[in-house]
C-alpha cells in the first residue's frame, strides 16, 4: 500500500523538512563546546524529528507532548537493546517479572496515545473531498499518515489500528536505521580525510559561494556523496541480517534440505565483506560504486535494504537525510568533529564488547530451525 506512494514527486516535497531539520542539526553542533563530541545523540534527534514530520505531518518541536514522545522513543529503543543483549530476558516468563517489562508497557502506552491523538486530529483537519489528482499536484505536501487516511477513505482494507501500526513502524524503523547510517558515514569520513576533502570539493563545485538550500537537482549532482553513502552502507548496513520463514520445503543444489517453517537468515554484513566481491573489503573506498566497477558485480552483492518484493521502503528515501546531514551550510563541520582516537574507542566498544556479549549468547543457547544463508554462495541453489 505504501510503496507506490513513494515516488519522486512525493519524496521531493520531503526535502524541505530535511533542509529545516539539518540546519537545526548543524546549529546544535556549532553550539556544542565539548572538545570531543559524541555525534550519535545529535544525529538521532535529527532523524527522529525528520521522520516524525514526514510520517505524521507534525513537528515535535512545535507539538504539545512532542518532547515526551521523543523521550519515549529513545527509552523504548534502550529497553529493546537491553533485552536483546541479555539472553535470559528473551524468555517471556522471566521478562514479565522484571522492571524493564513494566517500563516497556508504560512506554508503549505513551507512544500509542500520542500517535492515536495525532491520527484523530489529522482526520478532523483533512479535506474529505481531496482527490488523487490534487494529492499529486504539488499544492500541499502530504505526510505518510495523510496517505494512509486517504487510502482508508478510498476503501482500502485498513482500519485505525492498522494506520497506527504503519505509522509506528515507519517511525521506529526509519529514524533509528537512518541515524545509524549517518553516524557511520560521518565516522568513516572523519577517519578518511582524503575522502572528506574530495566530498568538500564536490559540495563547493555544486554550490560555490551560494548559501541557498539544496534542491533535489543539487543532490542528484552529488555523485561522490552518493557513493560515500553506499560504501558506508556496504561496510555498516543498518540491518546486518534479514530473515525469512520458508513457506515450502526446499532442497539446495548442494543437497541441503530446508523444511517448511525453517527460518533462513541472510547475513548481509558478512556478504558485503567478501573479498571475492569487494577487494580489500574492510577498506572505505567509495569508488567501488563507479559504474565501471559495478558492471561485473552480481546485482544481489549489495543489499543493504534487502531485496525482492519485501525489500525495505527506506531504499527510496534514505539518501535525503544522509545527504543533507553531510552537505548542510556547505560545511563538513559535523564530519570533522569526532577525533580519530575517539572514533577508534567507539569502534572498539561497539564491536568488541557487543561481540563478546553475543559470543556468550551463542555458547549458552542452541539454535533450532535456523540456517545461515548467503544468497551469493556459489551453487547453493
Helix (H) or strand (E) holding 154: none
Q: From the centroid of its chain, how far is CA 191?
A: 22
325 close to 179: Cβ distance less than 8 angstroms: no
Tell me whether residue 68 is exposed, middle or buried, using C-beta atoms within 10 angstroms of its C-beta: 0 to 12, 13 to 18, 19 or more.
middle
76 close to 44: Cβ distance less than 8 angstroms: no
55 close to 2: Cβ distance less than 8 angstroms: no
125 close to 132: Cβ distance less than 8 angstroms: no
The C-alpha cell of 134 is what? Answer: 490534487
**CA atoms of 251 and 256, how far apart (whole Å):** 5
Q: Which residues of 184-222 are buried (b: 16+ CB within 10 A; e: fewer)?
A: bbbbbbbebeebbebbbebbeebbeeeeeebeeebbeeb
**CA atoms of 40 and 32, how far apart (whole Å):** 13
82 close to 76: Cβ distance less than 8 angstroms: no
H-assigned helices in the chain: 8-31, 39-56, 66-84, 92-95, 99-125, 132-135, 144-153, 160-191, 193-207, 216-221, 223-235, 268-271, 291-294, 319-327, 333-336, 340-348, 354-364
312 marked as binding residue: yes
Per DSSP, 38 falls in state -
The residues facing 371 across adjacent strands are: 264
Whole-number Cα distances in Å, 3 to 7, 316, 317:
8, 9, 11
Annotated binding site for heme: 312
Residues making up the binding site: 312
Amino acid at each position: 500500500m505504501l510503496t507506490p506512494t513513494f515516488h519522486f514527486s512525493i519524496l521531493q516535497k520531503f526535502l524541505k523538512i530535511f533542509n529545516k531539520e539539518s540546519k537545526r542539526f548543524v546549529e546544535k553542533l556549532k553550539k556544542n563546546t565539548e572538545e570531543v563530541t559524541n555525534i550519535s545523540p545529535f544525529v538521532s534527534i535529527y532523524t527522529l524529528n525528520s521522520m516524525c514530520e514526514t510520517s505524521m505531518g507534525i513537528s515535535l518541536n512545535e507539538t504539545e507532548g512532542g518532547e515526551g514522545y521523543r523521550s519515549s522513543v529513545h527509552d523504548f529503543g534502550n529497553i529493546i537493546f537491553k533485552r536483546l543483549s541479555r539472553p535470559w530476558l528473551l524468555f517471556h516468563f522471566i521478562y514479565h517479572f522484571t522492571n524493564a517489562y513494566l517500563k516497556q508497557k508504560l512506554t508503549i502506552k505513551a507512544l500509542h496515545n500520542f500517535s492515536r491523538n495525532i491520527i484523530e486530529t489529522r482526520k478532523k483537519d483533512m479535506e474529505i473531498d481531496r482527490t488523487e489528482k490534487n494529492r499529486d499536484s504539488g499544492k500541499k505536501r502530504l505526510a505518510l499518515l495523510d496517505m494512509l487516511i486517504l487510502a482508508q477513505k478510498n476503501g482500502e482494507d485498513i482500519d485505525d489500528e492498522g494506520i497506527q501500526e504503519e505509522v509506528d513502524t515507519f517511525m521506529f524503523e526509519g529514524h533509528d536505521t537512518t541515524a545509524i547510517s549517518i553516524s557511520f558515514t560521518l565516522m568513516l569520513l572523519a577517519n578518511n580525510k582524503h575522502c572528506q576533502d574530495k566530498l568538500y570539493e564536490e559540495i563547493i563545485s555544486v554550490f560555490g559561494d551560494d548559501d541557498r538550500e539544496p534542491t533535489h537537482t543539487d543532490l542528484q549532482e552529488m555523485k561522490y556523496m552518493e557513493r560515500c553513502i553506499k560504501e558506508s552502507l556496504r561496510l555498516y548496513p543498518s540491518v546486518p541480517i534479514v530473515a525469512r520463514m520458508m513457506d515450502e520445503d526446499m532442497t539446495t543444489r548442494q543437497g541441503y534440505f530446508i523444511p517448511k517453517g525453517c527460518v533462513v537468515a541472510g547475513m548481509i554484513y558478512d556478504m558485503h565483506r567478501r573479498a571475492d566481491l569487494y577487494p580489500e573489503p574492510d577498506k572505505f573506498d567509495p569508488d567501488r560504486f563507479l559504474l565501471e566497477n559495478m558492471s561485473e558485480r552480481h546485482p544481489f552483492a549489495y543489499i543493504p535494504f534487502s531485496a525482492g518484493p519485501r525489500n525495505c521502503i527506506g531504499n527510496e528515501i534514505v539518501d535525503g537525510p544522509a545527504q543533507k546531514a553531510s552537505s548542510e551550510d556547505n560545511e563538513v563541520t559535523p564530519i570533522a568533529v569526532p577525533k580519530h582516537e575517539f572514533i577508534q574507542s567507539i569502534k572498539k566498544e561497539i564491536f568488541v564488547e557487543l561481540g563478546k556479549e553475543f559470543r556468550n549468547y551463542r555458547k549458552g543457547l542452541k539454535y533450532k530451525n535456523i540456517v545461515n544463508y548467503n544468497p551469493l554462495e556459489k551453487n547453493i541453489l
